Chain A
Amino acid sequence: MKKVSLRASFALFMAFMMIVGLVVYVVRYIQHGEEWALYFDASTSGCEYTLTDRNGTVLAKMGGGGKYYAEDANIRTACYQLVGDYVGNVGTGALQSFQKQLSGFSLITGIEEREDVTLKLTVDADLNLKAYEALNGRSGAVIMCNYRTGEILCMVSSPSIDPMNPPETLPDGAYINRCISSTFVPGSVFKLVTLTAAIENIDDVYHRSFSCSGSLNVKGVNINCTGVHGEQTIEQALANSCNCAFGQIALELGPDIIAEYAGKLGITQQLKLDDITTAAGNYDKDSSMSAAMAWSGIGQYNDLVSPYAMMRLVSAIANGGTVVEPSLLGVSDTKTELVSADTAQKVASMMNYNVVYKYGSSTFPGLNISAKTGTAEVGDGKPSHGWFVGFLNDEQHPYAFAVLVENGGSGLRAAGAVANTVLQAAVK
């Protein structure tokens, strides 16, 4: 019998494994319980809530056993990536990201069933609709915020779908919010990063003359410019978006400094929009000081950036170098200093110079605007991505924005026009 008793320890070993299993489960519960609980629960339990835009327009409503979206099909489509759906197809949608605010969870009490919760987003659904219509079927992203308060007023990603009547074949990337979850070649909008680095690292940058003969030869490779700009000041070089000038500046700064600024200014960081993690951009250091290095300072080479990060950068410039961290939930109280007030002021005034002397104020009737265009070459013989980023110098309407039209061609013509439409609607 002693032998049998010794052999019974086999069962104890199994019991030990069971306890290990329970511990594993409890640890996972502590780590992921919230994520798990909120995945299905709000949509299956008796939670009742309403999600509205800043004017009270209903974007989504759950309760009484039903799940609803906005009444207007166009608004449903224009706000699809912002709101997400009840199935969870858009991972960053408000219905998924703000489950905590909508239904509540704690590890001790589990899901808190609250009735009549209303969550008001900062976005204006009508602005979203204007922006989506302005994109007119082209793929792209429009994002705009109040740089004094951080409130995001407009966030649109195209192509989109109507969650109540989804098409049989899904448009490419309709489940992705391009504003925050995608990165694109920035092209000349990246020059704002190179410029910021130059102002702070090249002492006589304001006294230099940058010459452009239409192309810049770097170790036997030609960097082509958009035109022959001759001798320019730094202001003129930015307004001309002169590749020769910025290629030279990039080579002078070197990859380390540019990478440092790309990180500091949020381009290559994973950022947080409330609880949503945004896609980090990219800047590859090319230490060979070749043409690739020069291109990397002009927003080509392997550079990538999300529209959200661009908007955040220009709203910092507009707000004296300190960004009021954008939010979809209300006035934000988190602030981050990206650059000094002095540098911000210098960059801001040059961006205003761009519009006045290059883009033409008449393109933006009635708006006092500072901006930078970008026409990013994407290769494969496809049309360039058009970018337009900037802000209004208007205390009544302190709006910063980033617009991207994929394969839209010229930044000013494609993205600038979309920006104008949205801004005109916003200041009305």
Chain B
Amino acid sequence: MSGVIVSLISYILPLFALIVLIRCMRSMLSSKSQTEIWGYIHKDEGVALINHWENLIGRSRSADICLPYDTVSRVHAVLIRSPKGVWRIFDIFSKGGVWVNGDKVQSTGSVVKDGDVLNLAGNSVRFRDISEKQRDAIEARRTMSWKKVHPAVTLMFLSIFQALLLIENCVNAESEYLAGIGLGFVLLILLEWFCYFAMRSIRRTGFEVETIAFFLSSIGLSIIASSVPEEMIRQMIIVFAGVVLFFVLGWWLRDLDRTKKLRLPLAVLSLLVLAAVLVLAESQYGAKNWIEIAGISIQPSEFVKVAFIYVGAATLDRLFSTRNLIAFISFSALCVIFLALSSDFGTALIFFVTFLVISFMRSGSIATVALAVTGAGMAGFLMLRIKTHVAQRFAAWGHVWEDVYDTGYQQTHAMSAGASGGLFGKGAGNGWLKGTFAGNTDTVFGVMCEELGLIIAICAVLAILALTFFAVRNSGHGRSAYYSIAACATASMFMVQVALNVFGSVDILPFTGVTFPFVSRGGTSVLACWMLLAFIKAGDTRKGASFVVKPPDAKSRRKKEAEA
């Protein structure tokens, strides 16, 4: 009887996974441009809209406000609105210079007010700010087509998915763990609905990013239930803490000014932490990355990942300054060197690729070449430093079947177990790979394939890709380049992790032993994933979607409500 239930559920589960994933993707990607309007530039030929808080002005077609006059430089000036609504213009090394009402703009920038005349290398345009009232009117007209996919229905499908997973796990679990497994899944379902209603109560209706994270978390929870059922409650507490941190960081990111202020202290702190790890950490399986504080072992490099993106992302005015970029390169280099010294090869690689993404987004194509060289130098150092370690992994790469009991052990077992699950899996709790070394972390893709089937395992990878498409799609609509860069860098970091985890364990890439975001068992890594998610959430400027983005009319609406 129980066998029939499990096999029946095995066939239904992928269907629900696909529904959840497709609904989230439709919701995130189907809507048309949702650009906000923040002001106008009156030119001779007509009016240009100011769609962002940060705008590049120049002759280049890729400038946000294009002034196609010969004297204007390709990238000439940057016009930036502060969170408090004050506009400033910066001259970014233009040939012709910038004047506001006849006064030359210095490197620190000049304040621009409604009606001011901006002179760019002899070409005058008039700047018009927008009043709160106008903004209210414009905001009200913004399309909301994405709401066609109702988030509550998606969440309901997810809850059914989780309930089915729970049943499967219960059928296969030993009776002493039933209570823990049941409680864990029920708490997860309660938590996601609580978050949903909390968002509704503050009129935020975008819930796809969270849904995807909860989807991945439920797969992770199922693997915990299957491999270490005694840790169910612990894992639920970690997920809960992760969600709290997600909201805290998201709330913090709302204010770009305070966000920017914390960058330098955070950079210093990150380096100190990594240095401390080097001195204090216990060596575990070759990598020296664990610190034990008050009986709890944590992996500080996971938190530094969050800090790395926090520090690495930059506002538009800083994108065109080499000095800022050099500071970031030095910071990255130090991070990677510290990680290399701790022999934490996987994390070093993740940092390195994220560094490439951030520096490309900051600098554009030409400088990237130089940066890649810097990067290659760093990678070279890395390889030399941990030569034996790396050399061994590269030697096994592509030849894992030749040594299935030593260098190819984890990969071949993951591939074998993964393939044995077929498309629908053997059922949660029914596999054997979970029992092998680091089965629920390094080779978690194999466990997913084995127990839940290839379809769900691919859905998990696609879920991360969905976050990426969402971040890229939003990058053009963001208020600040800071949010766009942070969101894309986060998505890239997730992708690198997934690529190393999945393709490493099936011998398409060398095996490095990194975690699959949200799915792999772990404390610090799960917390870090939820925090990173806040960056993706911050890039979402659809109307009333993200709690990280302050509605432009917040103050006036509050005032209106008070009056009423």
Contact = CB atoms under 8 A, between A and B. Distances in A.
B413 A14 contact: no
Contact of B491 (A11, A29, A113): A11
Nearest to A7: B361
B458 interface: yes
B495 A7 contact: no
Interface stretch (B244-252, B260-268, B471-479): B471-479
29 contacts: A1-B316, A1-B478, A2-B62, A2-B476, A3-B319, A11-B357, A11-B492, A14-B496, A18-B465, A18-B498, A18-B499, A21-B503, A22-B458, A36-B418, A37-B416, A37-B420, A38-B416, A39-B401, A39-B404, A39-B412, A40-B416, A41-B417, A44-B417, A44-B432, A45-B432, A108-B422, A110-B423, A111-B422, A113-B426
Given A1-B64, A18-B465, A34 B357 contact: no
Given A1-B316, A12-B472, A105 B423 contact: no
Q: Which of A24, A28, A36 has the most CB of B within 10 A?
A: A36
B419 A29 contact: yes
A15 B472 CA distance: 11
Contacts of B461: 18, 22
A19 B488 CA distance: 18
Interface string A83-124: 000000000000000000000011111110100000000000
Interface stretch (B22-30, B49-57, B152-160, B210-218): B49-57
B471 A11 contact: yes
Contact of B56 (A1, A8, A38, A111): A1
Nearest to B485: A4
A9 interface: yes
B481 interface: yes
A5 B419 CA distance: 39
Given A18-B498, A44-B432, A3 B62 contact: yes
A5 B62 CA distance: 9
Interface residues of B, number: 62
Interface in B39-59: 51-52, 54-56
B278 interface: no
A15 B465 contact: yes
Contact of B420 (A10, A15, A18, A111): A111
B240 interface: no
Contacts of A110: 419-426, 450, 453
Contacts of A105: 420
A107 B422 CA distance: 5
B468 interface: yes
Contacts of B55: 1
Contacts of A21: 499, 502-503, 508-509
B506 A25 contact: yes
Interface in A36-70: 36-41, 44-45
B380 interface: no
- Closest 3 CB pairs between A and B? A110-B422, A5-B476, A37-B419
A40 B475 contact: no
Contacts of A108: 422-424
Contact of A107 (B52, B361, B423): B423
A6 B62 contact: yes
A24 B488 contact: no
A33 interface: yes
Given A15-B468, A18-B498, A40-B416, A10 B422 contact: no
A45 B499 contact: no
A295 to B, nearest CB: 38
Nearest to B361: A7
A10 B358 CA distance: 10
B508 A25 contact: yes
B381 interface: no
A304 B160 CA distance: 65
Contacts of A6: 62
A6 B484 CA distance: 11
Contacts of A2: 56, 62-64, 476
B508 to A, nearest CB: 6
A108 B454 CA distance: 9
Contacts of B471: 8, 11
Contacts of B475: 4-5, 8
B360 interface: yes
Interface string B237-278: 000000000000000000000000000000000000000000
A88 to B, nearest CB: 8
B484 A8 contact: yes
Given A11-B492, A14-B495, A45-B432, 4 more contacts: A8-B476, A11-B357, A11-B472, A105-B420
A109 B56 CA distance: 55
Nearest to B353: A14
Contacts of B360: 7, 10
Interface of A: 1-12, 14-15, 17-19, 21-22, 24-26, 28-29, 32-34, 36-41, 44-45, 105-111, 113
A295 B144 CA distance: 88
A109 B432 contact: no
B545 to A, nearest CB: 18
A38 B420 CA distance: 7
Interface in B339-381: 357, 360-361, 364
B488 A8 contact: yes
A90 to B, nearest CB: 15
B441 to A, nearest CB: 19
B146 interface: no
Nearest to B454: A29
Q: Which of B415, B420, B421, B458 has the most CB of A within 10 A?
A: B420
Contact of A12 (B319, B418, B468): B468
Nearest to A103: B420
A190 to B, nearest CB: 35
Contacts of B193: none
B422 A109 contact: yes
B469 interface: yes
B59 to A, nearest CB: 13
B51 A14 contact: no
Nearest to B405: A87
A26 B63 CA distance: 42
A213 B131 CA distance: 120
A18 B460 CA distance: 12
Given A14-B468, A44-B432, A111-B426, A1 B52 contact: yes
Interface in B400-459: 401, 404, 412-413, 415-426, 432, 450, 453-454, 458
A109 B492 contact: no
B191 to A, nearest CB: 29
Contacts of B496: 14
A17 B499 CA distance: 9
A110 B454 CA distance: 10
A12 B474 CA distance: 13
Q: Which of A7, A108, A111 has the most CB of B within 10 A?
A: A7
Contacts of B422: 106-111
B52 to A, nearest CB: 4
Given A11-B468, A40-B412, A106-B422, A1 B476 contact: yes
B413 A40 contact: yes
A105 B469 CA distance: 36
A118 to B, nearest CB: 21
Contacts of B492: 10-11, 14
A34 B419 contact: yes
A106 B422 CA distance: 7
Interface string B54-78: 1110001011100000000000000
Contact of A10 (B63, B357, B454, B484): B357
A404 B54 CA distance: 85
Interface string B141-164: 000000000000000000000000
B468 A3 contact: no
Nearest to B55: A1
A2 B66 CA distance: 11
